[in-house]
Amino acid sequence: MSTDPSTHAAATTPGGGPLAGRLVVDLSRALAGPHAGMMLGDLGARVIKVETPSTGDDTRGWGPPFVGPEDDRQATYFLSCNRNKESIALDLKSDDGRSVLTELLRRADVVIENFRTGVLDRLGFSTDAMLELNPGLVILSITGFGHDGPEALRSGYDQIVQGEAGLMSLTGPDPENPQRVGVPIADLLSGMYGAYGAVAALLERERTGRGQVVRTSLLASVIGVHAFQGTRTTVAGEVPRAQGNHHPSIAPYGLFSCRGGKVQISVGSEKLWAAFTTAFGLDAGRAEFATNADRVGHRDLLIGVIEDAFSAYEAEALLKKLNEAGIPAGKVRTLDEVYAWDQVRSQGLLTSVHHPVLGDIDLPGPPLRFFDGDAETTRTQHAAPPLLDGDGEAIRSWLAEAAEASDASEGDGG
């Protein structure tokens, strides 16, 4: 398969982006794989989502909330992870479904799947079979606990993996009350790692001319972001535990009460600590607070001293004073406040699309922007998440036309 983007003209999407001209076939469902596919679509790839007839992706039924007319309710969960995609419904147990998927795979740059190990093999689309169809294909495969090892066959669900991978033991007010993260972070991270791996494999294909398999899992994605808590365990031999809204290695860094509210501060250096103590009249020479390590060791005492000083201020006045002193600080916003924030809108983090059932709707926008010099080259035109099989007829017509063009080219000796 050629890796020249000009050979994928039929797969080009409007609005630009670094992956314009690439075709992604998204066989995944739920959140991890679809999030990876959406990320690639945000980068300009044409993403064709293959769904089960009649029911479609599981997330079409995940709610409430549902929105839209009573006879055509739409799940906001599905809307969150399927923008910039087309949908075709295929029964992969039927001859027709397998035939259409085969033609899509012949033309694809990336295929995304998150089936349990062995399912695609039984459907006739093993890794070897797909690479035989298309040697340049990048296969992104996402599982719950990994493709091999003693627990490879376990089903992976986000909250279960948050617990199994240790994240819940770090999250919550104290060790007796573990909490999950407020979004499906294991799913989202595995989608992000998967998209990152797929793009890396496409880059390597430019050198080798061959595709390859990229594997990740919910388990791997969470362990991949253990960061300093991981080395705290593997190197220092400590077992971190949940301790609420204060940083385990930096103080003061966390959520503090003030008059009628709360603010967050981050005092991450001795220079900032000096500025902070000056601004609020604290004793900079107090032995218990002399160094960051001392402050971490006397955290409860420190919190009491700071909150006593903060009690004279309401939140907005306190944030103003912290800003004037050069101390990183902020409030805790609700999501409606976040999406109304002019800074969020200035970064393209809210995008308007036209949905065939819901009309004009706003979706959380892509987190990446691209520039060529001063000119922004980010994809600017975004498509609403598709209706089930909403593009099936058009995709089948495109495949038929592509097959005819290929036959004509071969007949001319091309």
Are 52 and 189 found together in one domain? yes
pLDDT at 8 over 50: no
The answer to whether the beta carbons of residues 112 and 28 sit under 8 Å apart is yes
> The tokens of 281 are what?
């009249």
Is 148 one of the catalytic residues? no
Are 219 and 350 found together in one domain? yes
CATH number of domain containing 117? 3.40.50.10540
Provide the sign of the torsion angle of the four alpha carbons 214, 220, 222, 224, taken in this order.
negative
Are 10 and 125 found together in one domain? yes
The last residue of one of the domains, among 330, 360, 377, is 330
Are 130 and 276 found together in one domain? no
340 within domain boundaries: no
Are 118 and 266 found together in one domain? no
238 within domain boundaries: no
pLDDT at 166 over 60: yes
DSSP-derived pairing of the beta strands 329-330 and 261-266: antiparallel
pLDDT per residue as tens digits for the range 341-383: 999 999 999 999 999 999 999 999 999 999 999 988 888 889 9
239 within domain boundaries: no
Q: Which residue has the tokens 């900032």?
A: 272
Angle between helices 270-280 and 315-324 (to 10 degrees): 130
CATH number of domain containing 320? 3.30.1540.10
Provide the whole-model pTM.
0.91
Rg (CA), the chain: 25
State the catalytic residue, choosing from 26, 42, 109, 187: 187
380 within domain boundaries: yes
Q: How far apart are CA 43 and CA 363, in angstroms?
A: 16
Are 216 and 119 found together in one domain? yes
Residue type, position 334, single letter:
T
109 within domain boundaries: yes
Are 13 and 70 found together in one domain? yes
Nearest Cα to 104, choosing from 386, 381, 414, 391?
391
358 within domain boundaries: yes
Are 159 and 109 found together in one domain? yes
Structural domains of the chain, count: 2
Are 61 and 180 found together in one domain? yes
Q: Which domain holds residue 361?
A: 5-225+346-411
Are 359 and 273 found together in one domain? no
pLDDT per residue as tens digits for the range 286-322: 999 999 999 999 999 999 999 999 999 999 999 999 9
Are 188 and 140 found together in one domain? yes
Q: How confident is the model at residue 2 (pLDDT cuts 50, 70, 90)?
A: very low
Nearest Cα to 382, choosing from 85, 25, 77?
85
